[in-house]
Amino acid sequence: MFLRFFCLIFLTTSVFASSHSFEEFLDQVRKTATEQGVSKSTIDKAFFELTPRPSAIASDKAQAEFNQNFWHYVNKRVNKVRLNNGKDTLKNNASLLSKTSEKYGVPAYVIVAFLGLESNYGNYMGSDSLIRSLATLAYDKRRSKFFTRELIAVLKLMDKKTIPFDATGSWAGAMGAVQFMPTNVIAYGVDANNDGKVDLWNEKADIYASAANFLNKLGWKKSEKWGREALIPKNFDYQLTGLDNEKTVNEWAALGVRRGNNSNLPKSNFKASLIVPMGHRGPAFLVYRNFNTIMGWNRSILYALSVAYLSDRLNGNAKLSAKTIDEPLLSKEDIMQIQNTLNLLGYDTGTPDGMAGSKTRKATRQFQSDIGLTADGYVGYELFQQLQ
């Protein structure tokens, strides 16, 4: 018992390196939650014998969006099993999905695609205590403000009996088939069957309506595509790529951009951005405003492309025309080495953190341009080798 207690203390202090104890932190949360109307009895029950779970921190630092390339990420998520399960979900729940789609203006296959990515259609929703996960991540200094807000939100949901005290979810505190964070449940959760609860675990009406309502509120445009696969001509100026650069589809066509199957783009004045998630050697996509809506659900481009591609496949569209590239994955340490090296060479990536953000991609693009490589800004294995 003593050894177990010592190990817990060691893990807590080494992982969190906080200036105050976990209990003192909970006291601060208790005060804030009380000021925001959460009852004392709810807080007492939620915090009873609560201890941190350091493995949640490890999971937070190892998110797949940070260390996988496009093909590795997408092929693991848009596979035969997930497609078959998605088609079964559409078929078996056609009536309810149709009513939900009509009410919120979001296609059924898009709603189902999100469920497929988030929880494998409700088959894996996480088994960790929501309170424990959120308290652990809120205690960690890196994103304390964000997770403290979510912790207080889940206390409010429990106080109103919207969700149970023993509710479980992901290591990050996301819940149900849609993997909503607590603030999203408050903002977008729908009690579609009017039973006084937002049951995102078992009640399909609540699940579908909540997902569709979220996308509707984020700005989903009815009857519009999210985007399409594209083909880029040789000697293209990759400085034009990225979500920050918009042109009409007609303007992209004038620059030689075509559909992924090498046919002409449609005549359109729709605004679109051209993205290359794996650089000039990988696939390219023209993305429209519904893609930005998907990004509102999850800011990862890899996640957004996976949901979009899965929705297309569930809607009967063909596979991507681009061929899979088998490229070694980079670890967080590899990316930090890239950032350190670029910094030493005078290309500012900011403080190395092992995540290829916009500043690292900008520095990469400048480095590539200066040494005569295609300046696509892709932080991948080719760049890693070049900097060796």
The confidence band for 18, taking pLDDT boundaries of 50, 70 and 90, is: low
Q: How far apart are CA 203 and CA 100, in angstroms?
A: 13
Does the structure show a pLDDT above 80 at 131? yes
At residue 44, the pLDDT reads 97
Does the structure show a pLDDT above 50 at 2? no
Per-residue CA distances from 22 to 15, 25, 29, 35, 165 (Å): 12, 5, 11, 20, 20
Return the CATH number at 40: 1.10.8.350
Residues 201, 125: contact at Cβ < 8 Å?
yes
- Arithmetic mean of pLDDT, 320-344: 94
- Looking at 175, 193, 213, the residue that finishes a domain is 175
At residue 20, the pLDDT reads 80
Does the structure show a pLDDT above 60 at 307? yes
- Looking at 149, 175, 201, the residue that finishes a domain is 175
At residue 151, the pLDDT reads 98
The residue with greater pLDDT, 261 or 9, is 261
- For residue 32, being part of any structural domain is answered with yes
The total of structural domains in the chain comes to 2
At residue 54, the pLDDT reads 80
Q: What is the domain extent for residue 360?
A: 332-387
The confidence band for 141, taking pLDDT boundaries of 50, 70 and 90, is: confident
H-type helices in the chain, by residue range?
2-16, 22-35, 40-47, 55-61, 64-67, 70-77, 80-92, 94-104, 108-119, 130-139, 144-159, 182-188, 204-218, 249-254, 289-297, 301-314, 332-344, 358-370, 381-387
Question: Which DSSP letter does residue 380 get?
Answer: S
At residue 55, the pLDDT reads 73
- For residue 86, being part of any structural domain is answered with no
Task: Collect all residues with Cβ–Cβ distance below 8 Å to 331 and sequence separation of at least 6.
Answer: 67, 354
- Arithmetic mean of pLDDT, 337-344: 97
Q: What is the pLDDT of residues 347-379, one digit of tens each?
A: 999 999 898 888 999 999 999 999 999 999 999
The confidence band for 27, taking pLDDT boundaries of 50, 70 and 90, is: very high
Does the structure show a pLDDT above 90 at 237? yes
- Arithmetic mean of pLDDT, 293-315: 97
- For residue 155, being part of any structural domain is answered with yes
The confidence band for 14, taking pLDDT boundaries of 50, 70 and 90, is: very low
**pLDDT averaged over every residue in the chain:** 91
pTM of the model: 0.89
Q: How far apart are CA 245 and CA 180, in angstroms?
A: 30
Does the structure show a pLDDT above 80 at 13? no
- For residue 139, being part of any structural domain is answered with yes
Does the structure show a pLDDT above 90 at 340? yes
- For residue 133, being part of any structural domain is answered with yes
- Looking at 160, 175, 190, the residue that finishes a domain is 175
Task: Collect all residues with Cβ–Cβ distance below 8 Å to 27 and sequence separation of at least 6.
Answer: none
Does the structure show a pLDDT above 60 at 232? yes
- For residue 12, being part of any structural domain is answered with yes
Does the structure show a pLDDT above 50 at 60? yes
